[in-house]
Chains A and B, each alone.
Chain A
Amino acid sequence: MRELNDALREGFAAHAGALDAVGVDTTIAMRAAGAARRRRARRAVGTGAVGAAAVGAVGVAAVAAGGEPAAVTAASGSASGCTALPYVAPNPDAIGDAPYAFRAYVDLRDEAPDPGVVVVLPDGTWSRIAPDAQGRYLYALDGQTYIVAWPEEGPRYEDMPMAVEHATDGSAAGGDWDGVTPLVDDYAWTIEIPDHVPDGVDTALLSSTLRTGMDLGGLGYVPSAVPDGAETQAIITGVGMETVAWLGSGSAFPPVGQPDLVESIALKVTGLPGGETFTITAKHDATGTLDVPCVDPGAEVEPDTSAIEGWEPGGIIPGSSPSPEVSIAASTVRP
């Protein structure tokens, strides 16, 4: 007769051997890495929030990039013959009420044909920004100052150009970018928010969480986005599928095995006073990614540097990284 220890180990060995023989589902690694990236980005929110509090509601997010130069070809432009600039603006229709500020294209490689940092607003206007005396790339928008990149100091995350989505709450999420290809994944999505919003429902927080379902970067679910007693479900619908998952604190959207089949994602709030429900939905149109929007050279504007002259982030020592964790302040939102 076997010992229980032996039975467990034999069962484990037989199971592992059988799984090895047929091959494991390696997409688990891909999905887990994607979720880990989003969590790393969310933790950077905390880093930014500390800085923001210290400087009086000034959002702070920092990303380091650079490293070994890499060969890069000239910008390829768009499929529709637009001006050959890769700095496509974020899609305003995919933002909803999220506290979105701007997208920054950070390419500090020495050999890049157009190295530097470009900030693009959802309205299509864009600016090239230059480093200040400390090597920081600062950008002022609506009274807030953002550290878009801090190339010379602090830890470095990747030896790659990056595209980073900045939010007005000081958070940032982004990741590797090839420095050439226009980023248009968000053009496949449109967020719809009903006109009537029940008391106590924060559509900004919900919109940000909804964006995690689009793999665009956003905040994990914040329970205070809904009134006490209410709960929120993530709903994914598509061809032959409907997935419903309850969201806990910090949850991003559950991973989808076949993202190509997704037609819509939604956050449904139940348990509201009076039995009311509230749903915000993002619809997916796979053909949206084919219509690459133009980049208008005439939309380039001079950045407002007067707002950042002499500006120093409180609580952050100039010339150092705002936090040891700033090295992961940017994380990939697109595979």
Chain B
Amino acid sequence: MARWDGLVEELMRERGARLIAYAALLVGRDGDAEDLVHDALVKVFSRPRSLRSVGEAEAYVRSAMPSIVIDRARSAASRRRALDRAYERPSRTPDVDAGLDVRRALRQLSPRTQVCVVLRFFDDLTVPQIAARVGIAEGTVKRYLHDAVAQLAPLLDVTVDWDEDHANVLVEARTEGGR
């Protein structure tokens, strides 16, 4: 077995749950998340790299995921493929209940918006960093985030106090009765 083979196994054994949970934030469903982790592993390990530890490998694989989601959104063919795979597996990979409210809320968003939200509010990237990471204009990222937080606040009963550059967003969740 090649050294990188062993690292893939070790990575999934030790950090597989974290990778799938992170992927689930990006795609919303556990089955899709496993597909995303698979594709990110393939993307990272298809090239020779000097990954010295499981932690380093985890960081690489996580950083590969957002662009895969964006690419899928851009490519109808790959989107169909991902959907085909998702269609095969719902009975095998049911959504885990834990944290499901968050994932259900996130999957109300478009794929690009979902990625931007995770990169901003989970990974703490700035708008320019997000724009560079996923290849979207900064203004578009701001618009996605603005719309997303307005949508997520009531779903998750959260506040979003976001101040970056010219985008100032303060959203407070309202109860259903107040809408």
B-contacting residues of A (Cβ < 8 Å)? 1-20, 22, 24-26, 28-33, 35-36, 39-40, 43, 157-158, 176, 231, 241, 243-248, 251, 254-255, 257, 325, 327-328, 332
Contacts and interface: CB of A to CB of B under 8 A. Distances in A.
Interface centre among A8, A19, A243 (most CB of B within 10 A): A8
B112 interface: no
Contacts, number: 173
A76 B48 CA distance: 35
Nearest to B93: A25
B96 A245 contact: no
B85 A254 contact: yes
A43 to B, nearest CB: 7
B77 A19 contact: no
A255 B88 contact: no
Chain A to chain B: the 7 pairs with minimum beta-carbon distance, closest first? A11-B102, A11-B99, A32-B41, A24-B16, A18-B98, A19-B17, A16-B21
Given A1-B157, A4-B149, A29-B8, A16 B122 contact: no
Contacts of B92: 257
A8 B122 contact: yes
B123 to A, nearest CB: 9
B84 A16 contact: no
Contact of A7 (B2, B47, B93, B156): B156
Contacts of B68: none
Interface centre among B22, B77, B97, B172 (most CB of A within 10 A): B77
A328 B48 CA distance: 8
Contacts of B16: 19, 24-26, 28-29
B22 A12 contact: yes
B77 A15 contact: no
A19 B20 contact: yes
Interface string B31-67: 0001001100110011110000000000000000000
Contact of B85 (A176, A231, A245): A245
Contacts of A12: 21-22, 25, 99, 102, 122
A181 to B, nearest CB: 16
Contact of A11 (B9, B20, B103, B159): B103
Contact of A33 (B8, B89, B160): B8
Nearest to B96: A18
Interface SS of chain A: helix, strand, loop or mixed?
helix
A14 B157 contact: no
Interface SS of chain B: helix, strand, loop or mixed?
helix
B25 A1 contact: no
Given A15-B96, A35-B42, 13 more contacts: A2-B158, A3-B159, A8-B122, A11-B25, A18-B96, A19-B20, A19-B96, A26-B16, A28-B38, A40-B46, A40-B48, A245-B80, A332-B5
B24 interface: yes
Interface residues of B, number: 61
Interface centre among A19, A31, A328 (most CB of B within 10 A): A19
B161 interface: yes
B59 to A, nearest CB: 15
A3 B160 contact: yes
Nearest to B118: A8
B121 A5 contact: yes
B97 to A, nearest CB: 7
A176 B149 CA distance: 51
B57 to A, nearest CB: 11
B41 A9 contact: no
A244 B173 CA distance: 42
Contacts of B98: 14-15, 17-18
Nearest to B162: A4
Contact of A325 (B13, B48, B96, B157): B48
Interface string B82-107: 00110011001100111111110000
A8 B11 contact: no
Contacts of B134: none
A231 B11 contact: no
5 contacts: A19-B21, A19-B96, A25-B34, A243-B88, A246-B77
Nearest to B123: A8
A246 to B, nearest CB: 5
A2 B84 CA distance: 36
A243 B124 CA distance: 38
